[in-house]
Amino acid sequence: MRKMVFICCLILIFGLSACSSNNEPNEPANGNANSDNGSQVAETEHEDHGYEPNKAVPENLPIYPDAILTYDVASYGDNSWQWLYNTTASGNEIVEFFKTEFQNLGFEIDGDGTFAYREEFFIATTDSVISVYWLSIDDLPDEDVNPDTPGRGYSIVVNLDQWNDR
């Protein structure tokens, strides 16, 4: 049941993201046009792999080591945004990394909303400021994917108003 609710939520998020991203003007990658709250979002250092995000990655946002930014899009909610990355890591490695990094930033981890099961993994903070979830693996059948399967992609979703208020 929990899996079905989670999948429905993800479908809703992606559907609303697609609708809202078509209605919003693109902002410069440096975040200077952030009119939602008037504050700048500084770009986090990462390797340049040719993708220039529409909204800069917030300063001090943890990024899995050697992850490659592939896409970004508005997310459901007030001034929420998500950045999509590809890694060589497994779901379990990504979950452990973000649990540690979020706790180091002072966030409390939502134990019920943090797991790795089959192809799925999810990390959430109790205050819903930030979360990470899995991206599908197109070249592997679902029955072959488990939490230790390497080469996983993830999306990190941030409520920018709450992030900037911290």
Q: What's the whole-model pTM score?
A: 0.69
Do residues 129 and 159 touch, judged by C-beta distance below 8 A?
yes
Note the pLDDT tens digit of each residue in 10-41.
433 443 333 333 433 333 333 333 333 333 33
Structure confidence at residue 34 (pLDDT): 37
List CB contacts of 19: < 8 A, sequence separation 6 or more: none
Of 148, 10, 48, residue with least CA distance to 89? 148
Q: Provide φ and ψ at 11, rounded to 5°.
A: -60, -40
Q: Which domain holds residue 41?
A: 2-165
Note the pLDDT tens digit of each residue in 93-129.
999 999 999 999 999 999 999 999 988 999 999 999 9
CA distance 9 to 5: 6
Buried b vs exposed e over 20-29: b needs ≥16 C-beta within 10 Å?
Answer: eeeeeeebee
Confidence check: pLDDT of 52 > 50: yes
CA distance 93 to 75: 25
Enumerate helices (H) and strands (E) in the chain, giving the number of each: 3, 6
Do residues 56 and 29 touch, judged by C-beta distance below 8 A?
yes
Give the total number of structural domains in the chain.
1
